[in-house]
Amino acid sequence: KAGVTQTPRYLIKTRGQQVTLSCSPISGHRSVSWYQQTPGQGLQFLFEYFSETQRNKGNFPGRFSGRQFSNSRSEMNVSTLELGDSALYLCASSLGVRGGRNYGYTFGSGTRLTVV
């Protein structure tokens, strides 16, 4: 079955612009979460959506936002880009908890964003 698909793979933007990243989860997965990875801060949690509702949010400014559609696909948006937003953005999907059983997370290939 298809894995987690993130688009685009690479992106170069200018300071002040905005960007939208897309994530299509594994079929049947309703939980989609986003992470930012930088050399200095490691993997940091941005937010998680479950059945179109934001269930968890990390410690990022309001310039970072996201949403989830009825087909579980998710987008994240970063407005007014700053140089420090340059990072690898990873998306993960999961079945979550079903029937008392926890299910693991599967990650996409990521979107590498460079802000110049």
Partner 1 sequence: GIQVEQSPPDLILQEGANSTLRCNFSDSVNNLQWFHQNPWGQLINLFYIPSGTKQNGRLSATTVATERYSLLYISSSQTTDSGVYFCADRGSTLGRLYFGRGTQLTVWP
Q: Which residues bind partner 1 (CB under 8 A)?
A: 31, 33, 35, 37, 42-43, 45, 48, 50, 55-56, 58, 88, 90, 92, 96-97, 102-110, 112
Is the Cβ of residue 32 or residue 81 nearer to partner 1 in the bound state?
32
**CA dist., res. 6 & res. 11, Å (int):** 12
Coil, strand, or helix at residue 67? Answer: strand
CB of 76 to partner 1, least distance (A): 14
Least separation, in Å, of the C-beta of 55 and partner 1?
A: 5
Which is closer to partner 1, CB of 73 or CB of 96? 96
Phi and psi at residue 83, to the nearest 5°: -55, -35
Q: Which is nearer to partner 1, 22 or 106 (CB)?
A: 106
Q: Which is nearer to partner 1, 16 or 74 (CB)?
A: 74
State the nearest-atom distance from the C-beta of 61 to partner 1, in Å. Answer: 18
Burial class (CB in 10 A: 0-12, 13-18, 19+), 100: exposed
**Distance (Å, rounded) from C-alpha 46 to C-alpha 19?**
15
Going by DSSP bridges, is the β-strand pair 19-24/74-78 parallel, antiparallel, or unpaired?
antiparallel
